[in-house]
Amino acid sequence: MRIFGQLYTDGNSTPQSGVTTAVKCTQWEHGYPTRDQWGVTADETTNNRLTINHSGRYRIEVAGEMSASALSDPVSVIVYKNGAALTRATAKVTVTANGDYFTFAILAFDECVHGDYFEVYIASQASSNLLLENGTFSVTCVGPREDR
């Protein structure tokens, strides 16, 4: 069995307000599967993160639809690992009008050890309310660590 976990939100209507510098996305509404038996702890309530419980090489994916309340060039979506930006896992979109919807997608691979965790951060060039209306954030183990 592969190891995996997912956070997602569906029809969310509560934005994060006044976003400028990168803040953690707290708009995930659900964790899936809800058990830890698949080796990843999906925490959508307290820490809004996916925590790796088994070392390995992981595929990290984020995709969704977001809207912004102000013009911004750009709005950024960034995957963070253990509290630091995973810069190769960043998406940037120019928002040209208040209320613009935009879609984004990020795919990255990374070596992980037990206890590593991933989060999604969002940032805006202008102070903006950012709404993640629909989106998914998943990690899937694709193999053993390279150093094994």
Distance from the first to the final alpha carbon of the chain: 19
Q: For the segment 87-146, give every residue that binds other proteins (CB under 8 A).
A: 96, 100-105, 133-136, 138, 140
Q: Enumerate the β-bridge partners of residue 81.
A: 84, 118
Q: Which two tokens stand for residue 12?
A: 């969310």
As measured in angstroms, the least distance from the Cβ of 113 to other proteins is 21
Stretch in the footprint of other proteins (CB under 8 A) among 16-24, 62-70, 80-88, 113-121: 62-70
Residue from the set 25, 44, 64, 86 that interacts with other proteins by CB under 8 A:
64
For 35, the 3-state DSSP assignment is: coil
As measured in angstroms, the least distance from the Cβ of 21 to other proteins is 26
> C-alpha 56: how far from its chain's center?
19
| C-beta of 38 vs 117, nearer to other proteins | 38
Q: How far apart are CA 57 and CA 113, in angstroms?
A: 9
Q: Which two tokens stand for residue 127?
A: 């102070």
Question: Would you tell me which residues interact with other proteins (CB under 8 A)?
Answer: 1-2, 4, 6, 8-10, 30, 32-33, 38, 61, 63-65, 96, 100-105, 133-136, 138, 140
